[in-house]
Structure 1
């Protein structure tokens, strides 16, 4: 595919009343005053890449629109639609023309003519590829009166932009098509965050924000250009290889997608999409829809419901959601209503719920829901009663056994209860009122059993063999001491004994509450706890290789970690943190990510540990004001500045730890000949000298591509502004190689952490 450069689709205004010019015949890429475009006539860009004209989408949509599409690509891939919300029934009955007053008009061809669409002649940007431009004065003028790049629809091509004018408040945003065959304005928008975070937020229905991306994301194929000054904030992109044809699309299903054209396969190939999971898009399945990533159709209706628009579901357009099969019968009296509940197991609880106080059981929760005629569902989760009113959105199916999976009870009419129970051969239609507690309840019962098991006097071997003597001390800290113990089945355990003030009590409760409801291969496993008047004990699986900090400080131990082991630790910790931030019902911010809190099992599989400082943040809120917590050397700038904290604080700490794991050096180690390693490391990475960071003990034995990915993402993680740091999910993608990033700028704020007399601390060894 040939280059896009200098191939603009131009609409030249050759005559304005105050600028008399000689008339000339219209070129194939030009429409002059007094000329019109109608029927099958089109404008073609000077290089032949783009075409403008009337088109009708495929898939049974008989309406016509004026749009721009790729001329040389088979099929019709539309990148811009003029009249997306004002379709035309017949292209022969409308015309596109340039009015004498400078407006670009789409109007009916009948007399008197009526305007369907008008440019209003506003705009001030330069011309670029795939851009429809209205020019003033004479044909050689560079004055832009109006251009389509100022008014994008769902697609961004190289040179286009999404942004915000800080002076006027005007937006350039990507707004999805309603469906694959309907270009009218859809439900999903990608725009600049108006609150000034520098991030780009995804909105559902212009109201609910469900996803954010920073300006840090780069690729070896593209360069993303981020501008943030006193006048505007915007982003655009360009392709690094002129032969590449790419487009960025806000899909009808709420994902921002990047496509590349492949001549070999003759089709558009998906390069990446965000959010990575379709089910993370707000209301992707509409009201009362259930999203399931394991299902190729993604969406299905909750029990007692059916597609509100069956034809849309055939074309995989689910936004209309589901409607009740039978209307509810509600009197506001739980004892007289015939409504009941159908359970849906292994569901991640939807957002926008409310709690019912003093509901001590699942039955109490069900009764409370039945008494409220607007209540449509309930769940009894972690000892709390959650109810949903009106439309229920964002229900997501999880795999059996997933942490955070719960049973959601959907309110249905008696007829639907009977039909469901007959199908399932059940005996009692009212059994749904009693319900089943969340899967987590079983884990809580196990913890209570262990609690009773451990409430024995420390250091005694009991006749029932509950617990053997804690004899081997593993370490100590401000929280207390850790001992090694053994269960009757010879399983080695680590027992943390918390000591001290009420702060220790707070950390104990935080850790139990956090680890008691989550489970992941890269998170430490809490086997039990003991809470008596005098004791606070936490029981974990024993990690024979200790902490990452102990390995870092041990020359012999660290030599055991070859590059493969280190890269596995990097990836494992990233996956564990991504789980905490993005996959739990409540977002969990660890708040103290550092090598001391990364434990290594016998196979050097990392386990994130020590959740005593963790902060739970309800998913509907992106930030939580909290007192400073964490460890010097790993604290994100927002902690120090007293700014609101998000999961990006963990990202910063992870980036610092990543640099240590790559190099085998601690952040501050005067004995090594420097005082602050991260600034030196970021400088080397900015110069592309990745091998300079690699631990000398590895003698260069590392996968160069993996090393480069790790170095780059580490330096993005430690940026001062949280808006430009990646999420932990994106970090995982970078380490896996599915998302490419460019080199990060050197975070100059790190210089403030260095004393003025330590500007020569960069000498590490000969040759560096």
Structure 2
């Protein structure tokens, strides 16, 4: 009887997840002591939770490629294991001499073969006490020091999976795997947005954007709340999911004590799974998106997604396009024909009912005819087609597309897609069906990927061997000293530049090449606080703009270069400047951009070339570019120096926002008022909150600058000018004074607009434009709209009665 009681007490101890008694009383394999290691070569070097449910160790992810992770111990019916966490998913280690070690300082370090620097570490800076690594019953791998404090845990840095009782917070997003056989970071992300709402977002090779909840409707309509005091969500053991943004759901088998997980899958959907232990399979018990074709990026550009008769999802290239990568649909399709010039009458439209491509509109026309919509597309040089949709208000709207992405087919659609194709291929296009294509690969029995295992030699060890051989052969101490001096003083710039090129993917130019292209920097086309811009003619006959960065002390020139490259490398929008490459040779640091034929807005403000229609298009395009920076890309980018000099105009007078040298790339969840140590921008365009240390800096600083630029375009006056003693130099105050003096009449418009601008204008439309600009330049940042709201107001300016 006594032995039975002791056995029951021991069983209860096994169920406790985190207790010092458990960690100290149990020997390996659930605990790794300070100073100990797990080796990739020893297959028995594993940590197993006391209940046997989870295992931690090195997991094979390819040919001679291993990641350290946590997985469910029991294999599935196909003998595979389900990974729930990985430390080094993007940098696998070698199958020999790689180790995970618990240092006596309390840090956890993963080393790849004989590489001098660790591949991954917990990097606990203030850790000085020894700690032990523990695998507990909930699947959490954690470090616990001598004071029984948890100083690091895998639950705090998830990969693509949440386990029951593991919290999703603002600092712990989930990122999908690249594919079913490639565990590296994929294109889909579940995270808490800056408005406190859980969202799913796509960050693909060329575009990015959120798709769940439905971006067409507000968070409130989706049943979410943006007024949470904290950002957290958790799935309990009974299958109930609770989130601070009012997202609640129960799994289909709730109340059953099943083994569960929540995963952002490789197809971009967020699902809950329960383990059917008798069959050895995972069953879906809840999913975020029922129509999986609504997941963005699933089929790539110039392709569409459709659901087959057996509920299988299929991707298809649109007619006269072919698949780019036959193993990955996310790369999309490319045209088999040469695109025609703008407005040359050589295009026609191919009609596809019940198809749509979400987003990427170059133009929106409300309440229009089909012929007018076709003309609207033909008037836009980069128009790929248009969506003609019957709205619930009883009229048709036209959505002109400059990219064909997120295509899908649905019988519930009230519209049709019209693809622009050359007349020469039009008869062939009509004979092709858009629904022909290939199914997505969904099998779990895919071949293991092959990962190139190329290792750098340890420079220290190689140098020692070289010196020993040299000493034995020649015995010349003086030569050894010279080699040692050379080794100690050689510049690491080559290594850094190689890393920079690999990290950005941009072309790397030599200084001599750029000097030749710019004819020894002879034709200056612009200058600013960050450097001088020259026109360059390259060997492939492309014309570009070469920005020579100024030399700064303390490596500020290089910091500015890295800032622009890291920022622009994540952005893709028709109203943002396109960067081609860079140069970083000793003190020479340059950036290469596309060349803008019509220069900057500042150069054209007082010319006769910009009529009122062009000015309106420039205002709208600039707003779209800034809205993308603030809200559509996965990272939040503040420009911080919006002004006419940084708005460039191409040959068709389309605007592109440029010069991100002083921009700040921020994580959406960083405390904003702690990241800026000095004011940024240009006098006259800077928001008032820059002047106060205790005011948080948000995207509203760009909104303010944009409002000033709009007023400058409308009035023709510089914001730095002192228009009157009463206005105190503020352009918006001067305009408001004119409005108040008019006493409710609209005669004040003629007093504030630039009379030198050619062309007629609609007084009502102009009044709304000015009021939008005034709202943007409000002194109170909370009174300013967001840039997406500005875009909406400008797109529907003729439909709104008041702002």
Which category describes the TM-score, using the shorter chain as reference length?
A: 0.3 to 0.5
TM score, norm. by length of structure 2: 0.43
TM score, norm. by length of structure 1: 0.44
